[in-house]
Chain A
């Protein structure tokens, strides 16, 4: 029995501080220590959310943002993975490409916003492109680094045991680089949201960022806060998915084994 209570506590433990923060927030706004025009009480935010959920606006904005995030992530992440693999495996590719990639990496991708708006206008493309650029570099660098740091002894072993090139890649090189690639993916998911928020706030006519920016013009503070909370939730969701992926793909590693 004792074990059960402790496992229950283990499960709720990460949520104690968020819930306490929420309660404190409600309390301070209710007794007017914090003015409603600075921070609306959480219940009002929930109400605003419920209202938007009922009339469907909320889902449209979330769906649009999610769509942009995913499209950008797949394009940028896919390219990052391909270039990372290419440069990690073939020295000739690395010799020709790595310097260029490192040069572009040092440009903050958000600095490209004016240029990209000029080129592509304010439609869907600039957001997707910005997200793609944002996620490309973390995935590229971690894939490349992961492949370069695969144990040379294991590769030599694979050669001695005459594994085919394809098996050598799938069973040794890729599997060995996977922990590093997954770190890149988790990091890229963070960049993905940041990029999208900025892009949607600067130039958009839909999406969560637009919803928040639009609400600011009409002083709808509850919706602004709602948008912030949505980003927090979506970010956490993405991170949880990445964690799930890690524990699935790296279950051989004692670090990821569940007790």
Chain B
């Protein structure tokens, strides 16, 4: 299969809202079909970076290039999954997936296909109100998939789900990505989710890239792999700063000795 994903190049991207600098000198290269996870504390600018790639924000200075073309306005190749599913409550599940195709003529076949990909084809005629949170996110995923995008932007889509549903969704996203090879950027605050799914984990701190970590573990990745645990610890200590983690370990040991 040919590579469907886009290539992204971000050069010296800066963004400020008034006096507040949200992004500073962000440089990033993303290869076609790569799975990138962006992590960081809340308010560090990771969602803002994603919104720039989607073309929803205008950069103060710097640029985003996609397949060597300067991005101006909404990114036509990108599909976003938001933290809340943002389904239209007055359309059926199938029509909601059809929104991903602009509800243009002959959308129905393609929407059915997308719904099959997430395993919810039997709910096609129902209203979103009767679905669980996880099912709603799966519909949102189907809506994003429907137009066979070259770039998938995931803005903490699993943040509000319970642990089990989240694991299911992670597997589903990985499976679909392996099949269709769209370039994927996932914003998350869950380190193990980032390590589990991404080829590279980017840590953003105070608006700039602090760490660019390549994850070379074989897929499917499990936490039982000792390398997984080591990477997670490394990542956590970078996020929190080294001392804090040591302090925590020290406390744990003390409890263990008693």
* Chain A interface (Cβ < 8 Å from any Cβ of B): 151, 153-154, 156-164, 167, 171-172, 175-176, 178, 250, 252-254
**Contact between B80 and A160, CB atoms less than 8 A apart:** yes
**Contact between B143 and A252, CB atoms less than 8 A apart:** no
In whole Å, how far is A153's beta carbon from the nearest beta carbon of chain B? 5
* Residue in A161, A171, A254 whose beta carbon sits within 8 Å of that of B100 in the complex: A161
CA separation between A181 and B100, bound complex, in Å?
A: 27
CA separation between A151 and B89, bound complex, in Å?
A: 11
**Contact between B143 and A161, CB atoms less than 8 A apart:** yes
* Residue in B84, B100, B102, B143 whose beta carbon sits within 8 Å of that of A153 in the complex: B84
B84 — which chain A residues lie within 8 A by C-beta?
Answer: 153
**Contact between A159 and B99, CB atoms less than 8 A apart:** no
What would 10 more interface pairs be, CB under 8 Å, given A175-B88, A250-B90, A252-B89?
A153-B82, A153-B84, A157-B82, A159-B74, A160-B54, A161-B100, A162-B76, A171-B88, A171-B99, A252-B90
In whole Å, how far is B185's beta carbon from the nearest beta carbon of chain A? 14
**Contact between A157 and B86, CB atoms less than 8 A apart:** yes
B100 — which chain A residues lie within 8 A by C-beta?
Answer: 161
CA separation between A252 and B129, bound complex, in Å?
A: 8
**Contact between A172 and B88, CB atoms less than 8 A apart:** yes
CA separation between A159 and B78, bound complex, in Å?
A: 12
**Contact between B79 and A161, CB atoms less than 8 A apart:** yes
CA separation between A158 and B88, bound complex, in Å?
A: 10
10 A/B residue pairs, CB under 8 Å, sorted by A? A157-B99, A159-B74, A161-B102, A163-B99, A167-B102, A171-B88, A172-B88, A252-B91, A252-B127, A253-B90
CA separation between A175 and B74, bound complex, in Å?
A: 24
- Fill in one digit per residue for B148-184: 1 if any A CB lies within 8 Å of its CB, else 0: 0000000000000000000000000000000000000
- Using A252-B89, A252-B127 as known contacts, say yes or no to A162 and B102 having CB atoms under 8 A apart: yes
B103 at the interface (CB under 8 A from A): yes
**Contact between B103 and A163, CB atoms less than 8 A apart:** yes
Q: How large, as a class, is the contact surface on chain B?
A: 20 to 34
- Nearest neighbor of A250 in chain B, beta-carbon distance: B90
- Using A164-B102, A175-B88 as known contacts, say yes or no to A253 and B129 having CB atoms under 8 A apart: yes
Q: Which residues in chain B, 49-83, are within 8 Å of chain A measured between CB atoms?
A: 54, 56, 74, 76, 78-80, 82
**Contact between B89 and A162, CB atoms less than 8 A apart:** no
B129 — which chain A residues lie within 8 A by C-beta?
Answer: 252-254
- Fill in one digit per residue for B102-145: 1 if any A CB lies within 8 Å of its CB, else 0: 11000000000000000000000001111000000000000100
CA separation between A157 and B78, bound complex, in Å?
A: 12
A154 — which chain B residues lie within 8 A by C-beta?
Answer: 86, 88
A252 — which chain B residues lie within 8 A by C-beta?
Answer: 89-91, 127-129
- Nearest neighbor of B140 in chain A, beta-carbon distance: A157
A160 — which chain B residues lie within 8 A by C-beta?
Answer: 54, 56, 74, 78-80
B88 — which chain A residues lie within 8 A by C-beta?
Answer: 154, 171-172, 175
CA separation between A229 and B86, bound complex, in Å?
A: 48
CA separation between A175 and B127, bound complex, in Å?
A: 14
B56 — which chain A residues lie within 8 A by C-beta?
Answer: 156, 160
CA separation between A167 and B127, bound complex, in Å?
A: 19
In whole Å, how far is A171's beta carbon from the nearest beta carbon of chain B? 7
**Contact between A163 and B86, CB atoms less than 8 A apart:** no
B91 — which chain A residues lie within 8 A by C-beta?
Answer: 171, 175, 252
A176 — which chain B residues lie within 8 A by C-beta?
Answer: 90
- Nearest neighbor of A157 in chain B, beta-carbon distance: B86
- Nearest neighbor of B126 in chain A, beta-carbon distance: A252
B79 — which chain A residues lie within 8 A by C-beta?
Answer: 160-161
